[in-house]
Amino acid sequence: MVVRLVVARCQVDYAGRLTAHLPMATRVLMIKADGSVLVHSDGGSYKPLNWMSPPCALREGSTEDGQVEWTVTGKTDDTLRILIEEVLHDSSHDLGVDPGLQKDGVEKHLQELLAEHPATLADGLTLVRREFPTAIGPVDLMCRDAEGLSVAVEIKRRGEIDGVEQLTRYLELLNRDPLLTGRGAVRGIFAAQAIKPQARVLAEDRGITCAVVDYDALRGMDDDAEHRLF
Amino acid sequence: MVVRLVVARCQVDYAGRLTAHLPMATRVLMIKADGSVLVHSDGGSYKPLNWMSPPCALREGSTEDGQVEWTVTGKTDDTLRILIEEVLHDSSHDLGVDPGLQKDGVEKHLQELLAEHPATLADGLTLVRREFPTAIGPVDLMCRDAEGLSVAVEIKRRGEIDGVEQLTRYLELLNRDPLLTGRGAVRGIFAAQAIKPQARVLAEDRGITCAVVDYDALRGMDDDAEHRLF
DNA sequence: CCTTATATGTCGCTG
DNA sequence: CAGCGACGTATAAGG
């Protein structure tokens, strides 16, 4: 339950899935309650220069010439060695338990909303099943259109080329299933909040329909939306 | 060049690509030289609960009822709002310039080893060229099998579906080249230290051979391996 | 516990 | 700057 913050001139060496070395310099070390260690510089984004993920154990020792040395060992062979030349700051803080993060607006929500309102994607579209299983993974939504034809829907927050590839793979497999293709080939709809031009071109080239989804409008249609508001 | 470390009871709201909310609790706030902000709890791994990536600007203000409020605005519409109830610690530290990280990876090494020992992938396989160029990028290894047929090899540390797609694209292009297909179609080998079931299904469906590579055994075969040990 | 898909992914390279 | 691939990816969800 305690975080320790250390600012120190240090040198860091990691050996595990790769080897990495940080020359001697001043950095911020954060040691969390589970013994995990983060080595931050004052730039970059949230990713530390080096780190050790929990579960792991921190041992504080010293080298022959009297320098402080931290050794962090992980679950596998991973080791992080921190040689400390000078400590500029060292403090510990009790944080208590964190209530955790609440997120809103990720793909899952979009899928839920579209599952409830499939007709926003195409007139007369009805839901057959969410997460329709195939040998290479689940199709986000399997639907049926007004003529009774099967329609596979792939949902992404941002529509990029990968998503079109994914839907193409599904369609390839689905169109081998006589149960689905009885009345005609399975169609594809690529739904996203925004679709990149490149992805749109590829989709249309493959006969896939693109649908830009208005998240806020969808949420407005959904009476249960208030549950997710705060 | 200065990092600021703050421990405070705070509530955090992010609005940008998604919305996220952190209820009031004690957390560590790290403010880096470029104004970027990290909100850490004492658990999890190196990823903060919430953050703002550079470039961004931090404005320190106060609400109507006198509480301290930080507003961090990013390059787009992203905003991070931190409402501070109580500051338990606040210190700033000059880190100087970080000399940067030195990495020594594994994936390139794997390609080198397989280039030296292509026969471990298939009997009688010989190397024609590494990084064989195509219009959409280089094929990791271009080989020839015992019958003189061309074989394209895609190497990954972890064999996932993307890699199969990549190799498929290469094969599609290569098979349009009469120089390569003279004796028959170009075959594909998907080589990785581990191949996911999903990727294996897709590969086999497309007539691509899967090869699981034993990195340690390969390294053992290589007399030059000592050069890279330290 | 293993497998799969998502991510405010981030990071680095190349055209 | 965009696009693409790799990452010590992390992380959550589902079988």
Q: Which residue has the higher pLDDT, A65 or B84?
A: B84
B123 interfaces chain A, CB cutoff of 8 Å: no
Percent of chain B with pLDDT over 70: 94
Q: What is the pLDDT of residues B136-173, one digit of tens each?
A: 778 899 999 999 999 999 999 889 998 999 899 889 88
Given a cut of 90, is residue A44 above it in pLDDT? no
Give distance CA A107 / C1' C6 (Å): 8
Give distance CA B196 / C1' C3 (Å): 9
Q: Does residue B164 come out as left (phi exceeding 0), alpha (psi in the -120 to 50 range) or beta?
A: alpha
Q: Which tokens go with B214?
A: 């034993």
Q: How many pairs of residues across A and B have Cβ atoms under 8 Å apart? A: 167
Q: How far apart are CA B190 and CA B160, in angstroms?
A: 10
Q: Which nucleotides of C are covered by protein (CB under 7 A)?
A: 3-12
Q: How far apart are CA A117 and CA A124, in angstroms?
A: 11
Q: What was the pLDDT predicted at B103?
A: 79
Question: Is A25 in Cβ contact with B5 (below 8 Å)?
Answer: no
Rounded to the nearest integer, the mean pLDDT of chain B is 88
B29 sits within 7 Å of strand C by its CB: no
Mutation target for A interface from B10, B46, B76, B168: give the one with most A CBs within 10 A.
B46
Q: How far apart are CA B179 and CA B117, in angstroms?
A: 25
Question: Which pTM does this prediction carry?
Answer: 0.83
- Per-position b or e across A134-171, b if 16+ CB within 10 A of its CB: bebbebbbbbbbeeebbbbbbbbbebbeebbbbbbbbb
Given a cut of 70, is residue B69 above it in pLDDT? yes
Question: Is B201 in Cβ contact with A26 (below 8 Å)?
Answer: no
Question: Is B36 in Cβ contact with A98 (below 8 Å)?
Answer: no
Q: What is the pLDDT of residues B173-204, one digit of tens each?
A: 899 889 889 899 999 999 998 899 999 999 99
B197 sits within 7 Å of strand D by its CB: no
Of B82, B69, B75, nearest in space to B37 by CA: B82
Helix axes of B197-205 and B161-174: crossing angle, nearest 10 degrees: 20
Residue B101 pLDDT class (50, 70, 90 cuts): confident
Q: What is the pLDDT of residues A188-213, one digit of tens each?
A: 999 998 888 888 888 998 999 999 99
Residue B135 pLDDT class (50, 70, 90 cuts): confident
Average pLDDT over residues A205-225: 83
Question: Is B45 in Cβ contact with A93 (below 8 Å)?
Answer: no
Mutation target for B interface from A13, A41, A42, A78: give the one with most B CBs within 10 A.
A42
